[in-house]
């Protein structure tokens, strides 16, 4: 972590260690736990640098546990459930850090809002969707007022809220509109190929699929995967996430063979993630699902679309 003289230690942004898994992820958690323990001992519970260390540890715990809205969201969060302990630990740490930052720094301080954003993600990860939505809406409103519509942190809150909203059937259209607006703003502010822009594109693909826009979802997923491969390479964890999202979009269109072939390629590359990474586990679960006889797959796909239509 870098320090600027006596200024506040900056909190690691969400996603800075996204994709960490296995030994790397656990090593980062252990390092962050040690840093937090030392700062609590040397600086006290409420020192800004201590709270920055607590926030960093929560980010690492979420990375190991699997973030909602990535591969771990398929199906029934099977892989994610294996890491429930890390997600719950992140949630508890985020709650404590937010309370302390509100008291020490104030409601609208950027670091306080970073903690609120992290807690909203953790709440969604442990299934507390309504609480996550309410906190996400409040955080986005505060960031828009304090930082402006196009600030990267504001756009991160908007992206997170869009994913949170599509858990509520009555909010699907709102999720789509927010997702589209966020992607447009990130393309303009950050550029077409920026990692945050591509993350927004992946999220919008999932939202489009949820509202039945499967062809638009596929087109955006193909474009996003092509960009990830060009910018990050074939084996990067974010590239594999985009590949899985495209495989899911292909499945929704009934292109089961193409979905199967793409998912098999992901499985072959899962050595990059590690066998126990939540995303690798989700891809393995999808492979089992795709071995279901095709007539039954068609029926399951039809039932899934009927449920989403309400």
Q: Is residue 71 part of a domain?
A: no
Which of 18-27, 277-286, 288-297 has the least mean pLDDT? 288-297
Cα torsion 302, 303, 307, 310 to 10°: value is: 60
68, pLDDT greater than 80 = no
Give the other-Cβ count within 10 Å of 164's Cβ. Answer: 26
Q: What is the mean pLDDT of the chain?
A: 81
143, pLDDT greater than 50 = yes
pTM for the predicted model, two decimal places: 0.79
| Contact in structure between 55 and 115 (CB atoms under 8 Å) | yes
Q: Is residue 116 part of a domain?
A: no
pLDDT at 308: 45
Which two tokens mark 102? Answer: 């509100």
Rounded average pLDDT over 101-124: 96
Q: Is residue 209 part of a domain?
A: no
**pLDDT tens-digit readout, 8-43:** 233 344 444 444 555 677 889 999 999 999 999 999
- DSSP secondary structure letter of residue 108: T
Which of the pair, 66 or 267, is modelled with greater confidence?
267
pLDDT at 274: 59
Provide the domain limits for residue 292.
231-310
Q: How many domains does one find in the chain?
A: 1
**pLDDT tens-digit readout, 181-237:** 999 999 999 999 999 999 999 999 999 998 999 999 999 999 999 999 999 999 888
Q: Is residue 264 part of a domain?
A: yes
Q: Is residue 1 part of a domain?
A: no
Q: Is residue 277 part of a domain?
A: yes
Q: Is residue 259 part of a domain?
A: yes
Q: Is residue 4 part of a domain?
A: no
Helices (DSSP H) in 82-194: which residue ranges?
84-105, 110-125, 129-147, 152-165, 172-190
Burial call 142-155: b when 16+ CB within 10 Å, e when fewer: bbeeebeeebebbb
54, pLDDT greater than 70 = yes
| Contact in structure between 127 and 76 (CB atoms under 8 Å) | no
3-state DSSP call for residue 309? coil
């Amino acid at each position: 972590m870098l320090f600027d003289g006596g200024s506040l230690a900056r909190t690691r942004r969400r996603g800075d260690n996204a994709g960490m898994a296995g030994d790397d992820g656990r090593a980062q958690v252990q390092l962050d736990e040690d840093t937090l323990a030392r700062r609590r001992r040397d600086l006290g519970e409420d020192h800004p640098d201590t709270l920055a260390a607590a926030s960093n540890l929560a980010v690492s715990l979420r990375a190991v546990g699997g973030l909602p809205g990535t591969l771990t969201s398929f199906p029934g969060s099977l892989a994610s459930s294996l890491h429930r302990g890390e997600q719950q630990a992140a949630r508890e740490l985020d709650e404590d850090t937010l309370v302390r930052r509100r008291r020490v720094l104030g409601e609208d301080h950027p670091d306080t809002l970073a903690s609120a954003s992290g807690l909203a993600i953790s709440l969604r990860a442990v299934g507390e969707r309504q609480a996550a939505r309410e906190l996400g809406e409040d955080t986005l409103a505060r960031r828009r007022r304090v930082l402006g519509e196009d600030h990267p942190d504001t756009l991160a809150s908007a992206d997170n809220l869009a994913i949170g909203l599509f858990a509520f059937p009555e909010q699907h259209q709102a999720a789509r509109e927010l997702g589209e607006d966020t992607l447009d703003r990130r393309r303009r502010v950050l550029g077409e190929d920026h990692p945050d822009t591509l993350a927004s594109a992946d999220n919008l693909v999932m939202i489009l699929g949820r509202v039945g826009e499967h062809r638009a979802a596929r087109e955006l997923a193909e474009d996003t995967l092509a960009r990830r491969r060009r910018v990050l390479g074939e084996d990067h964890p974010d590239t594999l996430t985009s590949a899985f999202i495209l495989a899911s979009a292909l499945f929704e269109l009934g292109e089961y063979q193409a979905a199967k072939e793409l998912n098999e390629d992901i499985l072959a590359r899962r050595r990059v993630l590690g066998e126990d990474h939540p995303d690798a586990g989700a891809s393995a679960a999808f492979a089992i699902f795709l071995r279901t006889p095709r007539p039954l797959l068609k029926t399951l796909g039809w039932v899934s679309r009927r449920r989403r239509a309400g």
